[in-house]
Amino acid sequence: MAVSNHPTISTRVALRPTHVLVDLDKLTRNYKAIQGAVGEAMVMPILKANAYGHGLVRVGLHMQEIGARMLGVAYLEEGILLREAGVTTPILVLGGILGSQTPLFLQHDLAITVSSQQKLEQVEEAAASMGVRARVHLKIDTGMERIGVHYYSAEELLESTLKCKHVEIKGIFSHFANADAKDMRSAKLQLERFQEVLRFYEKRSLPTPLRHMANSGAILQLPESWMDIVRPGILLYGVYPSADVQRTIAVEPAITWTSRVVYFKVVRPDHPVSYGSNWQSDHPVRVVTIPVGYGDGYFRSMSGSAQVIIHGKRYPVVGTICMDQFMVNIEQDSAFNEDEVILVGKNGNERITVEELAGWAGTIPYEVLTNINTRVPRVYLQDQ
């Protein structure tokens, strides 16, 4: 496999024995599996939060290369970073925005989420004064109560858009609160509310903008919601949004998180390990130290439950996880400085998943992925 380092991290890759390896071919296969399943609908890869920890710019460029026709991010800055890296594909910023940010959206040709009457007016005004047309997607709140005009008062906003001369309504969308659940009644109710809002265009014989609502959960479980565009985030990265969700599309995780042993010692009984002295052995054990900690996103709350793989075998993390290091009990086995340690990924018959880390930390896989922070260098693998 060809290893291509991100240009800005290559020196850090060399300096640090800890990496997240991102297999771009797996991202390609996941993208194609989703595209294959949703047929006519366009797939909009969601790249927010550093592409769920996989690296915003590299994944953005890769998605463009493999044919994605629209990309989604949460924040203005994420869109600008993609533009500065040479991404020319249409980008929609999904999150709430400030009216004062509008000029930057227009300068960088980023599609704006308009979620209220006031925002619409601010965008119209800014676009008019710059002499351009703003590309806009309207956000309808059908039950998330986050951003968006409520479905029961959306008509007025849709009406107003018809009068705006400097706003081009490219899309209209909503977001599910419970699409990854076993019980799909709430998701179906949200979908009905959205469909009711969309009747506005039909009633007036107006062309309907691009309609979209499906996140990973809905892509897997609610085909009626696919419409014109689907917005996969976590599924694209090969992780299922919940344990309950039906796995109707096969995807594979794309990351491996590894480090190396930096210290070996024998710990005697009555000699507790790490801060707080919460763990000790009643017999002499071999303990190795790994140069990763909660300051990298290896959650402290996993202390006492986390495991790693060394030489194809699982071992427990012992003592409190520190900011930059943690300890592993290998009992009477051997491990040497520089030996590889797998935090997420597989070796032989053993595999540790982000779902498992999420379980140890008492959180969801989304939070595990997005917390592997920029101190951990990303290395990209690509064959095709």
Ligand X SMILES: *Cc1c(COP(=O)(O)O)cnc(C)c1O
Among 193, 211, 231, 260, binds ligand X (CB under 6 A): 231
CB atoms within 10 A of CB 76: 19
CB atoms within 10 A of CB 106: 21
Q: Any contact of residue 94 with ligand X (CB under 6 A)?
A: yes
CB atoms within 10 A of CB 158: 20
Among 171, 233, 253, 345, binds ligand X (CB under 6 A): 233
- Nearer to ligand X by C-beta: 161 or 216? 216
Closest-by-Cβ residue to ligand X is 233
* Beta carbons within 8 Å of 11's beta carbon, 6+ residues apart: none
- Nearer to ligand X by C-beta: 250 or 266? 250
- Nearer to ligand X by C-beta: 137 or 260? 137
Tell the smallest beta-carbon distance from residue 39 to ligand X (Å). Answer: 18
Q: What SS3 state is found at 199?
A: helix
CA atoms within 13 A on the CB side of 115: 17
Q: State the catalytic residues.
A: 48, 275
Tell the smallest beta-carbon distance from residue 235 to ligand X (Å). Answer: 6
- Nearer to ligand X by C-beta: 53 or 241? 241
- Token pair in block for residue 73: 């991010």
The interface with ligand X within residues 100-159 (CB under 6 A) comprises: none
- Nearer to ligand X by C-beta: 52 or 380? 52
Q: Any contact of residue 216 with ligand X (CB under 6 A)?
A: yes
Q: Any contact of residue 175 with ligand X (CB under 6 A)?
A: yes
Q: 214-245 burial, b for 16+ CB within 10 Å, e for fewer?
A: bbbbbbbbbeebbbbbbbbbbbbbbbbbbeeb
- Among 119-127, 202-210, 220-228, 229-237, the segment contacting ligand X (CB under 6 A): 229-237
Among 45, 53, 79, 232, binds ligand X (CB under 6 A): 232
- Among 56-64, 193-201, 228-236, 349-357, the segment contacting ligand X (CB under 6 A): 228-236
Phi-psi label, residue 59: left if phi above 0, alpha if psi -120 to 50, beta otherwise: alpha
- Among 230-238, 269-277, 329-337, 350-358, the segment contacting ligand X (CB under 6 A): 230-238
Q: What DSSP string describes 77-104?
A: HHHHHHHHTT--S-EEE-S---GGGHHH
Among 234, 288, 310, 372, binds ligand X (CB under 6 A): 234
Q: Any contact of residue 211 with ligand X (CB under 6 A)?
A: no
Tell how strand 210-214 and strand 167-173 pair up: parallel
Q: Any contact of residue 28 with ligand X (CB under 6 A)?
A: no
- Nearer to ligand X by C-beta: 136 or 287? 136
- Among 56-64, 76-84, 150-158, 232-240, the segment contacting ligand X (CB under 6 A): 232-240
Q: Any contact of residue 193 with ligand X (CB under 6 A)?
A: no
The whole-angstrom separation of Cα 154 and Cα 134 is 20
What is the Cα gyration radius of the chain?
24
Q: Any contact of residue 241 with ligand X (CB under 6 A)?
A: yes
- Nearer to ligand X by C-beta: 149 or 317? 149
E strands, 306-383, are 307-310, 313-318, 326-331, 340-347, 350-352, 378-381
Tell the smallest beta-carbon distance from residue 215 to ligand X (Å). Answer: 4
- Token pair in block for residue 156: 């007025």
The whole-angstrom separation of Cα 148 and Cα 160 is 15
The whole-angstrom separation of Cα 288 and Cα 263 is 5
- Among 79-87, 227-235, 293-301, 330-338, the segment contacting ligand X (CB under 6 A): 227-235
Among 215, 289, 329, 371, binds ligand X (CB under 6 A): 215
Q: Which residues contribute to the site for ligand X (CB under 6 A)? A: 46, 48, 94, 175, 215-216, 231-235, 241
